[in-house]
């Protein structure tokens, strides 16, 4: 079976597409043509076996013909995803959306970018073949969209971004192309440097214009990371924070929630309006606390305030970072002060700050550092059925070594 079909007279792009498909199961079938037949059946009739998963249309095809062809394919074969290879314009994006085209990609895209698009389109095709029916264990949650995970800390400098980036990398290993990280530290966000990303677009672009009206356009504003996750980075200029309202943040998160299984939000320190807007929608709160008195007291105060405002998400995950016996505090001291169990302990580590400086999270490079083991424990808390395990408690007492 040919898993991917490309119709284009552009041999250079065809070679890059073939290179992208080489690392994936299934083959790629190329039709060297600068035109499209009247119906998709004319193409599928020339293939052997089951219908393919993804059609790549172009470059070198008339865009209006490609859109028409995609609309017919979407009606007759909804289980097949279509990717249009054409430079984006607002008019074309709108036409593509109406025709059921999954993604648009530039004719200059390299093999790695094409591979990401093929993987994403294949996942969409698999979902359609299953009739978009979630498993019994996820059915209730799926009706509400994905989980929105707010990574929080009333105090800065406790490793919040480090935990957030590792969390999404870990989740991406189990849920490829289904996880997005939003940098909501709108003045001094570090997600881009923490993941070594040079974003073309930021959250400033994503909350206005066509992206705010259509999720397909919004996806084109996301940055793709090699670990099969998406990111939406903070503004380049801190003054741009004033252009982003709390209502825009809520609308953005609702859009992403319908498209991704996990929306992880790296919030700014404190409890500003954007953080409170996130908490109105969050299903999970990952609280980050350092092993020092100001951080611990700040966490206690933050939990108390949010409890009074009825803004505490249903699921809580408390992470004690930079834990060290020599700090003069014990785990019991921390739990007694914050009034809640610590779920994950990350011991003081040289690997974590070094990985942040490199822009490669420890869960990406496969480190066996003790802090990496703690981060994997945090990721495990988001796996299906974790809360239902008979031998696990929802808040398991962590061990400080």
Question: By CB neighbour count within 10 A (0-12 exposed, 13-18 middle, 19+ buried), where does 107 fall?
Answer: middle
State the residue for tokens 């809580």: 316
Burial of 35 (C-beta count, 10 Å sphere; 0-12/13-18/19+):
exposed
**CATH 3.40.50.2300 in the chain, residue ranges:** 2-129
Over residues 75-84, the pLDDT tens digits come to 888 889 999 9
Which pair of structure tokens corresponds to residue 78?
């909804």
d(CA 209, CA 4): 33
Non-local CB neighbours of 120 within 8 Å, separated by 6+ positions:
102, 103, 177
The whole-number average pLDDT for the span 114-125 is 84
CA distance 58 to 66: 8
> Which tens digits make up the pLDDT trace of 348-375?
888 888 888 889 999 998 888 889 999 9
- pLDDT confidence of residue 130: 57
Q: How many angstroms separate the most distant Cα atoms in the chain?
A: 76
> Using 50, 70 and 90 to split pLDDT, how confident is the model at 119?
confident
Q: Which residues pair with 262 in a beta bridge?
A: 147, 179
Cβ contact 81:102 at 8 Å: yes
Residue 2 pLDDT exceeds 80: no
* Nearest Cα to Cα of residue 4 among 17, 78, 13, 12: 17
For the chain, the straight-line distance linking the first and the last C-alpha, in angstroms and rounded, comes to 53
Rounded mean pLDDT of the chain?
87
- Give the confidence band of 153 by pLDDT, cuts at 50, 70, 90: very high
Q: Start-end ranges of CATH 3.40.50.300 in the chain?
A: 140-388
Q: What is the pLDDT of residues 177-221, one digit of tens each?
A: 899 999 999 999 999 999 999 998 999 999 988 888 888 788 888
pLDDT score of 129: 66
What are the structure tokens assigned to 222, written together? 């996301």
- Kindly list the distances between the CA atom of residue 229 and the CA atoms of 104, 110, 111, 250, 328, in Å, as whole numbers in the listed order: 18, 18, 17, 21, 39
- CATH code reported for the domain at 140-388: 3.40.50.300
User: Does the domain formed by 2-129 have CATH 3.40.50.2300?
Assistant: yes
Percent of the chain exceeding pLDDT 70 equals 91
pLDDT confidence band for 128 (50 / 70 / 90): low
User: With 0-12 CB in 10 A as exposed, 13-18 as middle and 19+ as buried, what is 366?
Assistant: exposed
In three-state form (DSSP H/G/I as H, E/B as E, the rest C), the secondary structure along the chain is: CEEEEEECCCHHHHHHHHHHHHCCCCEEEEECCCCCCCCHHHHHCCCCCCCCCEEEECCCCCHHHHHHHHHHHHHHCCCCEEEEECCCCHHHHHHHHHHCCCEEECCCCCHHHHHHHHHHHHHHHHHHHCCCCCCCCCHHHHHCCCEEEEEECCCCCCCHHHHHHHHHHHHHHHCCCCEEEEEECCCCCCHHHHCCCCCCCEHHHHCCHHHHHCHHHHHHCCEEECCCEEEEECCCCHHHHHHCCHHHHHHHHHHHHHHCCEEEEEECCCCCHHHHHHHHHCCEEEEEEECCHHHHHHHHHHHHHHHHCCCCCCEEEEEEEEECHHHCCCHHHHHHHHCCCCCEEEECCCHHHHHHHHCCCHHHHCCCCHHHHHHHHHHHCCCCCHHHCCCCCCCCCCCCC
């Amino acid at each position: 079976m040919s898993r991917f079909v490309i119709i284009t007279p552009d041999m250079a792009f065809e070679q890059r597409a073939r290179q992208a498909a080489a690392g994936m199961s299934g083959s790629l079938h190329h039709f060297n043509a600068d035109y499209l037949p009247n119906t998709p059946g004319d193409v599928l009739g020339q293939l052997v076996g089951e219908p393919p998963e993804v059609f790549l249309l172009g470059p070198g095809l008339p865009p209006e013909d490609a859109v028409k062809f995609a609309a017919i394919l979407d009606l007759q074969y909804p289980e097949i995803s279509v990717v249009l290879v054409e430079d984006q314009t607002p008019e074309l994006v709108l036409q593509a959306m109406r025709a059921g085209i999954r993604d648009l990609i530039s004719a200059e895209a390299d093999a790695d970018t094409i591979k990401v698009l093929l993987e994403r389109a294949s996942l969409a095709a698999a979902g359609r073949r299953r009739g978009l029916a979630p498993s019994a264990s996820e059915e209730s949650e799926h009706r509400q969209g994905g989980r929105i995970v707010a990574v929080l800390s009333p105090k800065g400098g406790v490793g919040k971004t480090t935990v957030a980036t590792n969390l999404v990398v870990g989740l991406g290993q189990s849920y490829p192309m289904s996880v997005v990280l939003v940098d909501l530290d709108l003045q001094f966000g570090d997600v881009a440097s923490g993941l070594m990303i040079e974003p073309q677009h930021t959250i400033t672009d994503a909350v206005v214009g066509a992206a705010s009206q259509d999720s397909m356009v919004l996806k084109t504003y996301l940055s793709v990371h090699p670990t099969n996750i998406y990111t939406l980075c903070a503004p380049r200029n801190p003054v741009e924070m004033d252009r982003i309202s709390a209502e825009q943040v809520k609308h953005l998160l609702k859009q992403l929630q319908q498209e991704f299984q996990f929306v992880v939000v790296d919030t700014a320190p404190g409890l500003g309006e954007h953080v409170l807007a996130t908490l109105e929608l969050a299903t999970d709160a990952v609280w980050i606390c350092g092993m020092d008195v100001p951080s611990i007291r700040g966490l206690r105060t933050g939990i108390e305030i949010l409890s009074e405002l009825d803004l505490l998400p249903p699921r809580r995950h408390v992470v004690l970072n930079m834990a060290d016996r020599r700090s003069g505090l014990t785990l019991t001291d921390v739990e007694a002060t914050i009034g809640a169990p610590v779920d994950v302990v990350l011991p003081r580590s040289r690997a974590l700050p070094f990985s942040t400086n490199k822009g490669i999270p420890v869960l990406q490079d496969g480190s066996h550092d003790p802090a990496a083991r703690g981060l994997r424990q945090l990721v495990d808390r988001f796996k299906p059925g974790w809360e239902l395990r008979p031998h696990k408690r929802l808040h398991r007492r962590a061990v400080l070594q």
